[in-house]
Structure 1
């Protein structure tokens, strides 16, 4: 008998389960070439499934050459179907299962940058998407221009002017598949081996990797509670660009004051370089109005990056670049050779979503919810750790920084915390110059309920006490 099982609780069809398990056993040599397979009726009875399930699984294996029929004799494993397994690939299927199980085993994950996924405006978005799909011109279903739909770029230019003080013409906007693609396009556009980038420290590992991958060099400038310390930028540097997150520095959380913004622009002018402004989550500001963009001070010198992953959902994969006119054509060409264009239907849906003020209504609603979650996190930290914790970077966005007295978040410490079913993220993971932020962690709260936040901080306290 072929030893396989079926699980009716899975979303995977029974036919696919039978086919996939038999295919894997043949490839691994557990079912050898020339080995006779059981008759479909007998096999179906053994697994307690319909005979049609086995017939269709056999037919798929036969179509792909894994098995063969011999007239009057039965079904056999075909020759040449054994593939020696790479040990690193053997557990891919089980890894997927572990990840799925991890999400439902009570783990509380303080990952930053994730919005409240359960509160995505599904009905509104769905209704707009349906209308777009039904009423749009048939040309929308074909290939489109790399810079994105004109409708979205027009709406976006007005929205950014109104809410972020960004000055641009729709022709200066290139729609991207998320901020990561925007960052990658900038790297390809402006960097060559040996070029230098002046960059905040700390900053995300992802951004460090993207900007160093062309063979360029990162020159880190420390940040404090007001963002990049612009007075530390050497005047003799000639970088390709300076990278900043001025409205909400990631991860420390500072807002770059006007004096430092002016210093930065003056440096860029003197050294004839660009400034890349990543405005990843500044819509959610809890003290006063959102900070105006750096781009608004010098549109010809600043490249502005935005994304809807933090406002709406990472699943949409929608972001944008606002470029100085001199860079637009080169960027459009790069975008074309990267992925032709970003999904057209979702661009049009987003355009209507913004035009009908649904986005601003959603942001207004979510600010109230995130503010409550932020307060729950601050109160829990102060209650559980009293005067042993300092909190900062909490005025904007979906995360804050907690700095602990006499705690170093080493690999061993992270393992102990993980055993308490809680995931936290040390600032030190994102530093270029190591050793400065070893006692600080990033705590995201956007995708956690107030109850989960309180429980998570209790577990964190238990984990830290266990270490003492």
Structure 2
């Protein structure tokens, strides 16, 4: 096996080695069960350091492409390659379908809303809030001025429903490079955040007789979008690696399967390649789509970010992304990458919904990406979130001792599983009375009862001081309840 690396490329040498091995596995150049060269041997053959090969191997092991056999070596894992690529999806359940009022599944409890407590100093561990204190205001303002002065006059008129061509032309190669998404600018539809993208998908792909198969647990906001659009939602259980494809129905086909494979919300698992291929094979066999929500994949703290599922089969996977988590929720720009067959219906629906997304912000964002500012911002925020995550884990350890941290080290939240603790309404209200908002995993689950001892703690939007204070307050409240079995220790007063 001979790899070629180019030190002039923007990708790191590790990523180049990783991607070449992964492509060879996908295309069955490296077949399942083949033994790979040792890291030392491959490094010598390819002209890179052994550490680079070891890092690439570690990433491929984490994603399930490779397996280590004790005292034998490293091998291509079973189920790691695609074996066939049939043609585009047919009309069944396609874009012409109406979004009738099918049976609505319960969307679970509503997430606590901190807006009603705005006048109080709440410490809100919400999972989806980025660090808005790091938003590049001055740079954004300068780019806004440039866009106003330098953009042609037609940019300030009505745009195409699918969004500014300038942004789509910049976004297509960016997604190919950083997420492995295969698309042309014409396949991208700019939306008012991921929320609008998912609403459009649901309205166009579902009907009163159809249903959506969705991960359980999943974000209650996502379920609300599906049910509001008139769809039935059937829960599919997940484990520590993500959705369980073998639990999907073989007797009746969903209109689409909703997944968050790069960083499952809320449990944080990363879907291995074997299950990704199982999902693709299922979608092909059942003639349906997969909707991939790639909401926070840019922020990975161990290894390199795992590529999107969409690259495995662009005709079966509809890819949804957003800039709300990367930059700011106030920037209502999301996007959906569509198979060619769905574009006409989506363009029409977008036109009737709001004509087009804000033109000026699209032009600013295009400049932001094109000039390399987005890459630099993401690198900066990885460091910020990594530190906040470390402070949160350390604070939990100091106050609660041994707790389980679930999920891959990525994103802006983690899940904590406590021993012999049940997050009842009474306990949550007590924690809230101390000025702290936490989110039980149970509220994100359709099938209740499996996650009563687990909570979601978001750290993206909190400073390290607020993180430490929030966990301290939570410990005090829980220690004051005898059934928790916790000792208060030296902490006996809340800060007023």
TM norm. shorter chain > 0.5: yes
- Partner of 1:8 in structure 2? none
Question: What is the aligned-residue RMSD (CA, Å)?
Answer: 1.3
Equivalent residue, structure 1, for 2:412: 398
Asked if 1 retains the 8 angstrom alpha-carbon contact of 2:310 and 2:317, the reply is yes
Hey, what does 1:321 align to over in structure 2?
A: 336
- Following TM superposition, by how much is the alpha carbon of 1:166 offset from its aligned partner in structure 2, in angstroms? 0.1
CA deviation map 1:407-460 (0-9, x unaligned):
111211111011111000111111111111111111000011111111110011
Structure 1 CA distance for aligned equivalents of residues 262 and 229 of structure 2: 27
Report how many aligned residue pairs link the two structures: 370
In the alignment, is the contact (CA less than 8 A) between 1:168 and 1:322 conserved in 2?
yes
Match of 1:255 in 2: 270
Look up the match of 1:373. 388
- Displacement of 1:209 after TM fit? 1.8
Instruction: Map 1:291-310 onto structure 2 (within 5 A).
Output: 291-310=306-325
CA distance in 1 between counterparts of 2:242 and 2:114 reads 35
* Equivalent in the alignment of 1:410: 424
- Normalising by structure 1, we get a TM-score of 0.77
* Aligned residue number for residue 164 of structure 1: 179
Match of 1:25 in 2: none
Contact 1:424 1:441 in 2 (8 A): yes
Q: Which one of the candidate residues 190, 193, 216 is aligned to 1:201?
A: 216
1:119 to 134, 145, 150: 134
Query: What does residue 243 of structure 2 align with?
Result: 228
Residue aligning to 1:271: 286
How far is 1:162 from its partner? 0.3
In structure 1, the residue matched to 2:192 is: 177
Q: Aligned partners of 1:409 and 1:118: how far apart in 2?
A: 31
Structure ID, larger Rg: 1
- Residue 318 of structure 1, CA deviation: 0.5
Which residue of the partner structure matches residue 470 of structure 2?
456
SS at match of 1:156: helix
Is the Cα–Cα contact under 8 Å of residues 109 and 423 in structure 1 kept in the other structure? yes
SS in structure 2 at match of 1:207: helix
Matches within 5 A, 1:32-71: none
Cα shift at 1:100: 7.0
- Following TM superposition, by how much is the alpha carbon of 1:116 offset from its aligned partner in structure 2, in angstroms? 0.5
Secondary structure at the counterpart of residue 447 of structure 1 = coil
Q: Quick check: 1:107 aligned with 2:122?
A: yes
Query: How far did residue 341 of structure 1 move?
Result: 0.3
State how far apart, in whole Å, the 2-side matches of 1:102 and 1:332 are. Answer: 40
Deviation at 1:193, TM superposition (A): 1.3
User: In 1, Cα distance between the equivalents of 2:354 and 2:168?
Assistant: 18
Query: 1:18 aligns to what?
Result: none
Structure 1 counterpart of 2:261, from 228, 242, 246: 246
Conservation of the 8 A alpha-carbon contact between 1:179 and 1:320: yes
Conserved 8 A contact 1:187-1:214: yes
Q: Which runs of 5+ in 1 are unaligned?
A: 1-97
1:216 and 2:235 correspond = no
1:102, distance to aligned residue in structure 2 (A):
3.3
Spell out, residue by residue over 1:197-254, the C-alpha distance to the aligned partner (whole angstroms, 9 max, x if none): 1110001112112212344322211111100011222322311011100000000100
1:267–1:100 distance in 2 versus 1, CA, 3 Å? closer
Match of 2:439 in 1: 425
C-alpha separation in 2, matches of 1:302 and 1:445: 30
In structure 1, the residue corresponding to 2:480 is in which secondary structure? Answer: helix
> Is the 1:110–1:445 contact (alpha carbons within 8 Å) kept by the matching residues of 2?
yes
Distance 1:361 1:201 in 2: 35
Contact 1:195 1:215 in 2 (8 A): no
1:435 to 435, 442, 449: 449
**TM-score, length-scaled by structure 2:** 0.73
Give 2:350's aligned residue.
Answer: 335
Aligned residue in 2 for 1:466: 480
